[in-house]
Amino acid sequence: MHKIRTSRLGNAIVKWIDHPTAVPLTILALAVFYLVTLVKGQNWSGDGSLYILHAQNLVEGRHYLDTGYLLNPVSMFVSPYGYPPVFPLLLAPVYAFFGLDLEAFKWVGVLSFCFSLWLVAKIFETRLERRFVFFLVLTVGLTPYLWDVTNVINADFTFMVFCYLSLFLMLHFLAGDQGRLQASGRQIAASVLIGLSMYLAYGTREIGVVLPLTLLTYDIVCRRRISLLSIAALGIFVIFAWLQSIWFSASFIPEYFEENLKHLTDKPSSPAEMNHLKFVDLDPQNILDRAFGYRWALQRFWPSSSSAFINTLNELLFNLFSLLAVGGYILALIRRITVVEIFLAGYIAVLLLFGAPPTVRYLTPIFPFFLYYGFLLCQEKIFPRVPRLKYLVAGGGFLLLAIISLPVMTTVKYPQLEYGITHPGATAMFRFIREETRKDDTIVFIKPRIMALMTGRSSATWPSKRYSSPEAMNHFFEAVHADYYVDMNLSLWMRPLTNSERPSNCFRSVFKNEYFVIYRYRNRFCQELE
């Protein structure tokens, strides 16, 4: 009797998983879970601040690049002058309705992530059985690292949405029944949709340039011709990318700032002027090192546990699944090459050829593909030979995922947010800058984009170590017309600042708490403080 009930329960679960509504309902449940478990606050990464500054400008009618962030070419800590506009365009309505509400901005990331899960399901449902698509979506949704990312304001999930949308449209219009494109109106619509989606991915993160290359490669390799649809889509992409480059040609960094800094450095150009091709590294050994680095970065998607036994089991499962994924990719290439296979190869090639340090963040858009190819090999080659194995693997995998992931995602501490820019010590420092300084004052701070966002003051980052001497610091402050320097603990963010020395005799302390010291710079202080 017990066996009969268990069998009926199992059949009912399998039947529900195979139902067309299972995946959408699962994504909806994940969205609710992600929104409920969002953690308040924002870390000290300046990326999110610059995105919000761009969104502010879009809402308030200022030029997109007029953020108050002064890019300092003699600094060790440099970020781009501006970021692509698509993610700020999504943040702009949130800012218009809620103002500077950091939690509200995170909703954009959560909703983008959930929409990307739906697109993943649509992309893979043509090759995977519905139950495999369900487990793929569930696995991605219950990955602690991805949940972690939703608590940070960045463009990763927005890029995933437009990247997957581009691939879905390519699969739908290029690899399907070509009879649906006979009408000229449909061809135009398909070209516009594909071209626009490719630009939106590129306008979110520049690695989206892989998508038009994917489209072109697919036509040449698989169709032996470049279709009018592809030419039109590529043309639309180029037009929008060109308009973006024109928009980004403006500069709101004062002329004196850049001109004076030229005399302080022997660098031929600032990082803002560098072409991305300068970051290409074709050294075979370095490429191999990056390949190994990304292998270890990929494992970060596998949740860790406090149990040594489970971690060992995880290590074995990851290595096994990696072999399955490679086998699944080869199987896909043998059977029929699609834009998915070409995109994945192109994306990985870009990661390996560019000299950026391997990090798990860069692998986020292709993590679902890693699972897809592993499931594909199981579905096509393994489970048909051992049918009962699929239930054991599915049940065991889900149980292991739930045991490890859910406790982590519901109980994890997030000190980066607790001691982030909304910490009382930080808010007191920002309040002093807003209330006690002039609007045209320039603040030197290790996190200039955050300073510009939280205070509305122009801000440049701290110069390199070669400018740490008192004389050099004075020259630097004179060159950039800076008025204040904010010191904090750089080795441990938002930990007590136990020792802070004024950079030179030209600086005077005007604010101090446990975490920050604000120094005012005036040339006339030099003699007074001797």
For 192-227, the pLDDT digits (tens) are 999 999 999 999 999 999 999 999 999 998 888 888
pLDDT at residue 111 greater than cutoff 60? yes
Spatial distance between the Cα atoms of 195 and 521, rounded to a whole number of angstroms: 51
188 vs 347: which has the higher pLDDT: 347
Does the residue 101 lie in any domain? Answer: no
Predicted local confidence at residue 411, as pLDDT: 61
pLDDT at residue 308 greater than cutoff 70? yes
Q: Are 352 and 291 in contact (CB under 8 A)?
A: yes
Spatial distance between the Cα atoms of 321 and 508, rounded to a whole number of angstroms: 60
Assess whether 357 and 456 both reside in one domain.
no
Q: Please, which pLDDT band fits residue 107 given cuts at 50, 70 and 90?
A: very high
What phi and psi, each to the nearest 5 degrees, are found at residue 508? -130, 135
| β-pairing verdict for 507-512 and 516-521 | antiparallel
The DSSP result for 85-136, as a single string, is: SHHHHHHHHHHHHHSS-HHHHHHHHHHHHHHHHHHHHHHHTTTS-HHHHHHH
Assess whether 431 and 517 both reside in one domain.
yes
Assess whether 281 and 230 both reside in one domain.
no
391 vs 481: which has the higher pLDDT: 481
**Domain end position, chosen among 382, 400, 415:** 382
Does the residue 344 lie in any domain? Answer: yes
Spatial distance between the Cα atoms of 507 and 504, rounded to a whole number of angstroms: 6
Spatial distance between the Cα atoms of 84 and 201, rounded to a whole number of angstroms: 10
Chain segment 147-184, per-residue pLDDT in tens:
888 888 999 999 999 999 999 999 988 865 454 555 56
Exposure class string for 496-508: b at 16+ Cβ within 10 A, else e: ebeeeebbbebbe
Contacts of 250 (CB under 8 A, 6+ apart): 63, 65
Predicted local confidence at residue 410, as pLDDT: 61
Chain segment 71-86, per-residue pLDDT in tens:
877 676 667 888 999 9
Q: Which two tokens stand for residue 99?
A: 């103002």
Does the residue 80 lie in any domain? Answer: no
Sheet with strand 442-444: strands edge to edge: 69-70, 458-460, 442-444, 484-488, 516-521, 507-512
Highest mean pLDDT among 3-17, 90-104, 171-185, 291-305: 90-104
Predicted local confidence at residue 387, as pLDDT: 66
Assess whether 429 and 511 both reside in one domain.
yes
Which one-letter DSSP state was computed for residue 303? P
Kindly report the CA angle at 320 between 317 and 323, in degrees rounded to 5? 150
| Average pLDDT value for residue range 483-500 | 81
Predicted local confidence at residue 39, as pLDDT: 84
**Domain end position, chosen among 247, 266, 295:** 247
Assess whether 435 and 491 both reside in one domain.
yes
Q: Which two tokens stand for residue 100?
A: 């500077």
Does the residue 238 lie in any domain? Answer: yes
Predicted local confidence at residue 179, as pLDDT: 46
Assess whether 279 and 241 both reside in one domain.
no
Assess whether 293 and 239 both reside in one domain.
no
Predicted local confidence at residue 476, as pLDDT: 85
Does the residue 78 lie in any domain? Answer: no
Assess whether 172 and 211 both reside in one domain.
yes
Spatial distance between the Cα atoms of 345 and 494, rounded to a whole number of angstroms: 41
Does the residue 358 lie in any domain? Answer: yes
Question: Helix (H, G, I), strand (E, B), or coil: what is residue 269?
Answer: coil
Query: Is the whole-model pTM more than 0.75?
Result: yes
| Average pLDDT value for residue range 44-61 | 92
Question: Helix (H, G, I), strand (E, B), or coil: what is residue 135?
Answer: helix
The amino acid that residue 215 corresponds to is L
First to last CA, the chain: 93
The amino acid that residue 279 corresponds to is F
| Average pLDDT value for residue range 119-137 | 90
Assess whether 378 and 323 both reside in one domain.
yes
pLDDT at residue 63 greater than cutoff 80? yes
Does the residue 405 lie in any domain? Answer: no
Question: Which of 4-13, 284-293, 380-389, 462-471 has the lowest average pLDDT?
Answer: 4-13
> Across the chain, what does the average pLDDT equal?
83
Spatial distance between the Cα atoms of 478 and 459, rounded to a whole number of angstroms: 14
| β-pairing verdict for 516-521 and 484-488 | antiparallel
Spatial distance between the Cα atoms of 153 and 94, rounded to a whole number of angstroms: 13
Kindly report each contact of residues 256-259 with a partner whose C-beta sits within 8 Å and lies 24 or more positions away, as own/partner.
256/481, 257/70, 257/460, 257/479, 257/480, 257/481, 258/73
Spatial distance between the Cα atoms of 376 and 298, rounded to a whole number of angstroms: 19
* Domain span including residue 334: 275-382
Q: Please report how many Cα atoms fall inside a 13 Å half-sphere around the Cα of residue 195, on the Cβ side.
A: 20
**Domain end position, chosen among 198, 232, 247:** 247
* Ramachandran quadrant class, 516 (left: phi over 0; alpha: psi -120 to 50; beta: rest): beta
Total domains, the chain:
3
